[in-house]
Amino acid sequence: MSKPAVWISRKLSDNTQARAARDYDVILNHDDVISSADDIVAMSAKVDAILPCHSEIFNADVVSRLSDRTRIIANHSVGVDHCDLAAFRQRGIVVTNTPDVLSDATAEIAMLLMLGAARRAPEGDDMVRSGKWQSWSPSFMVGTQVSGKRVGIVGMGRVGQVMAQRCRGFGMEVHYHNRTQLAAELEQGAIYHPAIETLLPVSEFLSLHCPATPETTGLMNAERLALLPKGAIVVNTARGALIVEDDLVAAVSSGHVAAAGLDCFVTEPGGNPEFAKHPNIFMLPHIGSATRETRDAMGFRALDNLDAFFAGKEPRDRLV
């Protein structure tokens, strides 16, 4: 009996690709380049399933042109804002994602960005690397202390809850905004704000962990950034679309926002060149889940969903 054919759109972990090759007829993207809409459509005629990353865009037009042969999209990502789920539902194509497995890794990056932005890590690193470190005094490179401060978390899902745990390790007072209030055992003392407008004024640090949806796109605009206390620090490891980037640049330039730590941007890859003009904006190239352990876990979770589907079972992480 022939194996189902699967296209893996980007280079995944060696362990993931080895497992996929064992169980499926696999087509790999050896060059590891982002596929165009036409590439995706053409490949859909050759395979029974696609295992894409967030870099492959499945908008309504692409979904409408997919071959009837492709029956499942097993995303190698938690976020699915690159997928038009309504269009997939109309086509009857199953869509899955990989929740649960990247919470620790992403929360680690959020803490790195929070600490780096607060303690001026980009400036210090550049100073030492470039040979500009020539003196020291008590007023030299003074930053913001994290320990004991108030952190506001927007989106108290899996990653947000892990971030809250990490912040408690620094003695921070945790406040959060979420669509619904968590049960007490999940809150662990965190203070719930039904509206983001009451969360922002108490957030000396603000960490974004919600998905990008029509409701959250542009969430942090000039009006909401102005609600933060002066000198607040903004961290985003979720999606670039949550922040109106020009408004953040303006808030940093004015000093109202003291610093920012960003792992995601509206334009990816590439980022925003305006941010690079500000040494108090600490940036990473969307590597929140980039650990060996997490990449294996994400790949295996996507393959678990494929295994279930082709065995005639309900995929664990089915969204459509």
The tens digit of pLDDT for each residue in 242-257 reads 999 999 999 999 999 9
Q: Place 219 in a pLDDT band, splitting at 50, 70 and 90.
A: very high
**Whole-number percent of the chain with pLDDT over 90:** 99
Q: What is the enclosing helix (H) or strand (E) of 154?
A: strand 150-154
Cα of first residue to Cα of last residue in the chain, in angstroms, is 28
Predicted local confidence at residue 266, as pLDDT? 97
Give me the chain's average pLDDT, please. 97
Q: Note whether 5-100+292-310 and 103-133+140-283 share their fold.
A: yes
Query: Which residue among the candidates 239, 245, 295, 301 is catalytic per the annotation?
Result: 239
Residues 18-53 pLDDT 10s: 999 999 999 999 999 999 999 999 999 999 999 999
Q: State the Cα–Cα distance between residues 81 and 160, nearest whole angstrom.
A: 18
| Interval 168-188 mean pLDDT | 98
Smallest CA-to-CA distance from 165 within 185, 145, 135, 138 is with 185
Q: State the Cα–Cα distance between residues 224 and 200, nearest whole angstrom.
A: 7
CATH code, residues 5-100+292-310: 3.40.50.720
Give me the numbers of helices (H) and strands (E) for the chain, helices first please. 12, 12
Q: For helices 14-23 and 292-310, give the axis angle rounded to 10 degrees.
A: 20
> If DSSP codes are grouped into helix, strand and coil, which group holds residue 207?
strand
Please tell me what DSSP assigns to residue 131. T
- 99 neighbors 158 (Cβ within 8 angstroms): yes
Asked if the model's pLDDT at residue 1 lies above 80, the reply is no
Predicted local confidence at residue 198, as pLDDT? 98
What tokens appear for 15 in the block?
Answer: 């362990």
User: Residue 284 burial (CB < 10 Å; 0-12/13-18/19+)?
Assistant: middle
Query: Which residue among the candidates 158, 286, 295, 301 is catalytic per the annotation?
Result: 286
**Catalytic (active site) residue 268:** yes
Please tell me what DSSP assigns to residue 243. B
Query: Which residue among the candidates 197, 223, 268, 314 is catalytic per the annotation?
Result: 268
**Catalytic (active site) residue 286:** yes
**Catalytic (active site) residue 82:** no
Q: State the Cα–Cα distance between residues 276 and 273, nearest whole angstrom.
A: 5
Q: State the Cα–Cα distance between residues 135 and 212, nearest whole angstrom.
A: 45
Please tell me what DSSP assigns to residue 23. H
Q: Where are the domains of the chain?
A: 5-100+292-310, 103-133+140-283
CATH code, residues 103-133+140-283: 3.40.50.720
Place of tokens 């995929």: 315
- 245 neighbors 217 (Cβ within 8 angstroms): no
| Interval 141-158 mean pLDDT | 98
